[in-house]
Amino acid sequence: MWQSARLGRVRAHMPVVLLLLALVPAILPFLTPGYFWNANDARHDAYFIFEYDRGLRFGDWYPRWSPDFTFGYGYPFFNIYAPLAVQVGEAFHLLGLGFTQAVEMVFVLSIVLSALAMYGFLRGLVGRVAAAVSAVAYVYAPYHLFDMYQRAAMAESFAFVWLPLVLWGVRSSVTRPRWASVVGLGVAYAGLMLTSNLVAVLFTPVVVGYVLVVAWPGGALPRARDVWVLVRRVIPTAVGGLLGLGLSAWFWLPALLEFKYVNQEQWYGGYYDYRLHFVYFFQLFSPHWGFGISVPGPDDVISYQVGLVPYLLALAGAWSVCRTTRALWRRTALYLALVAVVAAFLTTGASAWVWERVPGVSFAQFPWRYLMLTVLGMAVLVAGAASGGGRVPPWLRGGMLALLLLLGSAAYLKVEVVDPLPEQGPVGLPALMRFQASENEMTGVTIFAREVPRWSGLAEIMVRGEDVPTRVEFGHVQADPFLEVQLLEYGGSWERIRFEAQRPGRKIVFNLQMYPGWTAYIYDETGTTLQQVLSWQELTVTDPYGLVTVPVPEGRHVLLLRFEDTLPRRVGKGISLGALLGVVLGGLIFRSRHAMRDA
Amino acid sequence: MPAWALLTYPGWLELAVGFFPYYNLHAWLEHPTLVWHPPYALPPARPALPLPEGPAAVLVSLGMDPLAALRWATVLALVLGTVGIFLWQGRRWGAWPGLAAALFWLYAPGTLANAYRVGFWGQFWVWAGVAWGLWLLARRWGRGEIPHWLGGGAFLAAWAVRAVDLPAQTAIWWGVGGVTLIAAAFVGRVAHGLRFRSPVPALAATALAAVLVVPWAQPRYVAYTPPARPVAIFGAADVVLLDASVSADPAPGIPLQVHTSWQVLRPQTTDWTFFVQVLDETNRIWGQYDGPLGGVERPTTRWRVGEVREEGVILPVAADAPPRLRLILGLYERTTLQRLTTQDGRDHVAIR
């Protein structure tokens, strides 16, 4: 009896075990010695973690300001770029891994978690075996592999984890509206927002549609009663969604309100113009695979294929789905199939009018990013192929399909491991400076700059491997005979100096780009009595790089310049704290109500 | 869709027939007839139906450019063929065995290799016609074996008549196509025997076949639009001079920039040497260039069949040359100095 129960448990978990084993070939490329330096964003990933780590070691628990980007003039990178994947990488780094190994571990983790997330989402709908096959399809979809091995898109790859989890949260909060489901949805949505706000924006309309698909109670023709049922069912989901927004507000609110203070041309202009990167229809099916970057025209070296095997199995799955009697599964699969088709359409030039007219669509930057949604929909449909009846036992059918999926992507399971060039690594300040100079990357500027710097005095020092203990622009100080500056302390996003101005109207220029949040505190000579506070609006800028410039009073004083929270950042934090408190309180209330009911 | 989508590339493919379908389409558009001798064909040219020129011409008349029209006409032929086999085999064995047979035909190595590497695209129209014809026969005379044997026999007879006197390469691909069609019927029978009751096994088997075949038969693309006819064809359709241009009329003392585009339609066993000469009326040479076609790095023996290679040379012309000059170019074998003749027997091509 006991043995039979144990056997049953083992059998129940067998699909997960086999799924994890099936992930090994996808993980192996990241475990090979060396690093894929030439992958599109591989260097960026390593330097994102490097810079986050620098901020952390300077004492910032969340370093919105990255002091070494833009040749040392700094950039508010983590104020506008979702940080979760970088934070996961930083966690690996704190555990003792090098920066490049930490990046690779983020990808490994994203593979495992995205597969488990897909499995979890579909297990309740189509059974364990079909869910495991779908998870294999999700991980081995060529675009997913392309995102990891060629693009090294750490945030986007990690976002693959959250897509099924959000859908799972939606389904649970509609069909089983418990506090845990609502919180689960909230956490998943917050996770997505904190991993990639870009993907969150693309995915949110899909989520809203899925809420309606799952919650819709009636047939094709709506009746008044149906609408009320729909509203009642949607409420927990809406709470979950709001919770997600609340939990992530500390990031997205300032990102939303303060993105306008960075030069947006660098994010969406020139090479990043979406019109140059539409996918040609044949590219969706071309088995060609290569390493490079997205280029205008049809002759990309890299691949935007949906995958022959996933496509054909998704077709088989669609047939199976149309015949199933499980209504929720049918609705889910058909809806996500529609999403897959629409997303594939949005990658092509035929959809240019949508990109021009529908707000939010162009947020994707590169049209082929929509393939993420195609991958999701196709992977779900593949579960249909594995779940259909027939004479073949489910485990055998599932095993064969999983094997087929592996075989279909086997040729793509590789990364280009190369030795770093001097402008790539080893990860550190000198290589970061060389990288910025050679590629004009990580040289973002704020709207206060009139020019994008090509090099700097700070970079000149850092490239020699020396540390720069200040951001004071001593060229200006030395040019002013009535000004003297003495360095006291420097901490990445803040600096304390003592100065003596022998005439009024003196200014101290810092090699820091102006951005909301810079605040100057002027103390007396001993540095104990605060005499004046200058917010960022009261500071001035020095051309051409829009450097922070502090007008200082006459006499001997101590000046503290610090990158601080602005109103949106404080409000965002407050909302997130409130949401967190709501989660805890809600949990306690629901638990006590349960206990009372049980009693 | 994956089987034909690769033909929608906005350009051309590296085919064994090069741009011959394109040249033929232009020629047919000038003199459209139901039966014709395609001027650009592997010799000997035989009377043929204008396939794919006819359907492509319809698309051209709708505003499509000729290269795209040929590709889309082939897409249409592949789709028609697949549907025809589905109907034919579906009527005989049921829908899912029919699907298995149709997908087998579409993803068969012979079909994909012909579509993406060889370029005898007219054959797809023939196979589509055969499949639809067999379906019509089956509709007329029921599900029995007789119409299939009749149809198969008629097809084999036509094939045998057609294959007589064909050059080996063409005959082989007619054979491959015929065997593929017969094999598709066999797959339908097997799928029936295996009791396919859903599309899943057929699609899974297709996926497996596609994984094995498509990487091997995937197209290489050419981003090049040639003129309506080639400048010259050297050898037995071996080396095609697609285009040639000169910066100016030859004149004494003025260097000329000569730009040429080439293609080989068979793997070459000779590294051809490319010559360009400026001659006067007495054939005296006043300017000359000789060098390996494709350069030392990529001589013609290393060219892929169907790839387009550009060759540019700067040719100085003697300052004391007479005013009336002409420019010729051609190919020769370096060790024997034997020139390669064009299809019409000339050993050079006059450009200006």
For chain B, which residues lie within 8 Å of any Cβ of chain A, measuring from their own Cβ?
1-2, 5-11, 195, 197-200, 203-204, 206-208, 210-211, 214-215, 218, 221, 223
Question: Of A219, A218, A241, A236, whose CA–CA distance to A228 is shortest?
Answer: A218
Would you call B5 and A388 a contact, using CB atoms and an 8 Å cutoff?
Answer: no
Mutate: best of B4, B203, B220, B225, partner A, most A CBs <10 A: B203
Burial A146-185 (b: 16+ CB within 10 A, else e): bbbbbbbbbbbbbbbbbbbbbbbbbbbbbeebebebbbbb
Question: Given an 8 Å threshold on Cβ–Cβ distance, is B5 in contact with A320?
Answer: no
Say if the Cβ atoms of B6 and A281 lie within 8 Å.
Answer: no
Q: Which helix (H) or strand (E) holds B191?
A: helix B168-193
Chain B nearest CA to A285, separation (Å): 5
Assign B143 a pLDDT band (cuts: 50, 70, 90): low
Which tens digits make up the pLDDT trace of A166-212? Answer: 999 999 999 988 889 999 999 999 999 999 999 999 999 999 999 99
Q: What is the C-alpha separation between B262 and B179, in angstroms, rounded? A: 34
Residue A141: pLDDT above 90? Answer: yes
> Are B210 and A299 inside 8 Å of each other by CB?
no
Q: How far apart are the CA of A361 and the nearest CA of chain B, in angstroms?
A: 26
Residues of A in contact with B13 (CB under 8 A): none
State the pLDDT at residue B201. 84
pLDDT in tens, A333-360: 999 999 999 999 999 999 999 999 888 7
- What are the φ and ψ backbone dihedral angles of B303, each rounded to 5 degrees? -80, 145
Give, in order, the Cα–Cα distances in Å from A291 to each of A150, A268, A365, A415, A578.
6, 23, 20, 9, 46
* Three-state DSSP state, A262: strand
| Closest-CA residue of chain B to A280 | B9
Directed axis angle between helix A249-258 and helix A179-195, to 10°? 40
User: What is the pLDDT of chain A when averaged over all its residues?
Assistant: 91
For A284, the 3-state DSSP assignment is: helix
Distance in Å, alpha carbon of B102 to nearest chain A alpha carbon: 14
Length of chain A: 599
Contact A517, A492 (CB under 8 A): no
Q: Is A401 at the interface with chain B, CB within 8 A?
A: yes
Confidence class of residue A389 from pLDDT cuts 50, 70 and 90?
low
Burial of B102 (0-12, 13-18, 19+ CB in 10 A): buried
Q: Please name the helix (run of DSSP H) or strand (run of DSSP E) that holds residue A550, with its range, or none.
A: strand A547-552
Q: Which two tokens stand for residue A463?
A: 């490239």
pLDDT digits over B63-93, tens only? 999 999 999 999 999 999 999 999 999 988 8
pLDDT at B150: 67
A407 touches chain B (CB under 8 A): yes
Nearest CB partner across the interface for A281, out of B5, B197, B199: B5
Contacts of B10 in chain A (CB under 8 A): 280, 298
Q: Does A228 touch chain B (CB under 8 A)?
A: no
- Neighboring chain B residues of A408 at a CB cutoff of 8 Å: 207, 211
Its ipTM equals 0.88
> Is the Cβ pair A285, B207 closer than 8 Å?
no
DSSP letter assigned to residue B301: G
The residue of A300, A311, A312, A404 whose CB has the most chain B CBs within 10 angstroms, and thus the best one to mutate to test that interface, is A312
Q: Model's pTM, two decimal places?
A: 0.91
Cβ of A284 within 8 Å of Cβ of B5? The answer is yes
Q: Which residue has the tokens 């060629």?
A: A150
List the one residue out of A553, A538, A539 whose CA is nearest residue A482: A553
Do A316 and B200 count as a contact with CB atoms less than 8 A apart? yes
Give the angle subtended at the CA of B181 by the CAs of B178 and B184, to the nearest 5°.
150
- Residue of A285, A309, A408 lying closest to B1 (CB–CB): A285
What's the rounded Cα separation, in Å, for the pair A48 and B96? 53
Measured distance CA(B176)–CA(A266) in Å, rounded? 55
Point out the residue among A287, A299, A316 whose CB comes nearest to the CB of B204: A316
Residues of B in contact with A345 (CB under 8 A): none
Q: For an interface test with B, which of A308, A324, A348, A401 has the most B Cβ atoms less than 10 Å from its Cβ?
A: A308
DSSP letter at A464?
A: T
Identity of the residue in A280, A288, A312 whose CB atom sits nearest the CB atom of B203 = A312
Among B198, B199, B207, beta carbon nearest to A308: B207
- Mean pLDDT (whole number) for A277-281: 94
pLDDT in tens, B6-63: 999 999 999 999 999 999 999 999 988 888 888 887 655 677 888 889 999 999 999 9
Cα B177 to Cα B159: distance, rounded to the nearest angstrom: 10
Distance from CA of B66 to the nearest CA of A (A): 18
Chain B interface includes A309 (CB < 8 A): yes
Query: Which of B71, B211, B225 is the mutation pick for testing A, counting most A CBs within 10 A?
Result: B211
Q: What is the pLDDT of residue A2?
A: 54
Kindly report the nearest CA distance between residue A312 and chain B, in angstroms. Answer: 6
Mention every residue, 6+ apart, whose C-beta is less than 8 A from residue B258: B244, B245, B246, B247, B276, B289, B312, B313, B314, B315, B327, B329, B351
The total of other beta-carbon atoms located within 10 Å of residue A232's CB is 12
| Inter-axis angle of helices B66-93 and B122-141, nearest 10 | 30
* Site of tokens 């279909």: A408
CB distance A311–B2 less than 8 Å?
Answer: yes
Confidence grade of residue B204 (pLDDT, cut at 50, 70, 90): confident
Give the C-alpha distances (Å, rounded to integers) separating A249 from A197, A245, A254, B310: 11, 6, 8, 58
Do B5 and A309 count as a contact with CB atoms less than 8 A apart? no
**Cβ contacts of A482-489, under 8 Å, gap ≥ 24:** A482/A506, A483/A508, A483/A552, A488/A527, A488/A558
Which chain A residues touch B199 with a CB distance below 8 Å? Answer: 315-316, 319
Average pLDDT over residues B148-152: 67
List of chain B residues whose C-beta atoms are within 8 Å of the C-beta of residue A404: 204, 207-208, 211
For position B146, what pLDDT does the model report? 63
Are A285 and B5 a contacting pair at CB < 8 A?
yes
Instruction: Select, from the ranges A281-295, A555-569, B193-207, B337-351, the one with the highest average predicted confidence (pLDDT).
Output: A555-569
Contact A315 B199 (CB under 8 A): yes
Angle at B58 between CA B52 and CA B61, to 5 degrees: 135
Q: Which of A266-270, A546-550, B25-29 has the lowest mean pLDDT?
A: A266-270
Task: Name the closest residue on chain B to residue A400, using Cα atoms.
Answer: B204
C-alpha Rg value of chain A to the nearest Å: 27
**Residues of A with CB below 8 A from B107's CB?**
none
For residue B163, the model assigns a pLDDT of 59
Closest chain B residue to A315, measured at CA:
B203
A224: left (phi over 0), alpha (psi -120 to 50) or beta: alpha
Q: What is the mean pLDDT of residues A109-123?
A: 96
Closest alpha carbon to A334 in A28, A117, A163, A125 = A125
Over the stretch B320-345, which tens digit does the pLDDT of each residue have? 989 899 999 999 999 999 999 998 88
pLDDT over 90 at A134, yes or no: yes
Range with the poorest average pLDDT among A331-340, A442-451, B162-171: B162-171
Strand pairing report for B232-234 and A494-501 = unpaired
Average pLDDT, chain B: 88
Contact between A157 and A139 under an 8 Å Cβ cutoff? The reply is no
Output the CA angle A196-A201-A203, nearest 5 degrees. Answer: 90
- A12-16, A50-54, A108-112, A144-148: range with lowest mean pLDDT: A12-16
Cα A315 to Cα B204: distance, rounded to the nearest angstrom: 10
Query: Measured between alpha carbons, how far is A61 from A67 in angstroms, rounded to an integer?
Result: 15
pLDDT given for residue A559 in this prediction: 94
Show residues of chain A in contact with B8, CB under 8 Å.
280-282
CA atoms of A571 and A574, how far apart (whole Å): 5
CA atoms in the 13 A half-sphere facing the CB of A506:
23
pLDDT tens profile A355-385 = 998 887 877 889 999 999 999 999 999 999 9
- List, for residues A519-545, the tens digit of each pLDDT value: 999 999 888 888 899 999 999 999 899
pLDDT band at B195 (very low <50, low <70, confident <90, very high): confident
Rounded to a whole number of angstroms, the distance from the CA of A309 to the nearest CA of chain B is 5
Q: What is the pLDDT of residue A364?
A: 82
Q: CA A299, A302, A305, A307 torsion: positive or negative?
A: positive
**Chain A residues with CB inside 8 Å of B224's CB?**
none
Q: Rounded to the nearest 5 degrees, what angle is found at the Cα of A442, between the Cα atoms of A439 and A445? A: 115
Q: What is the mean pLDDT of residues B175-180?
A: 87
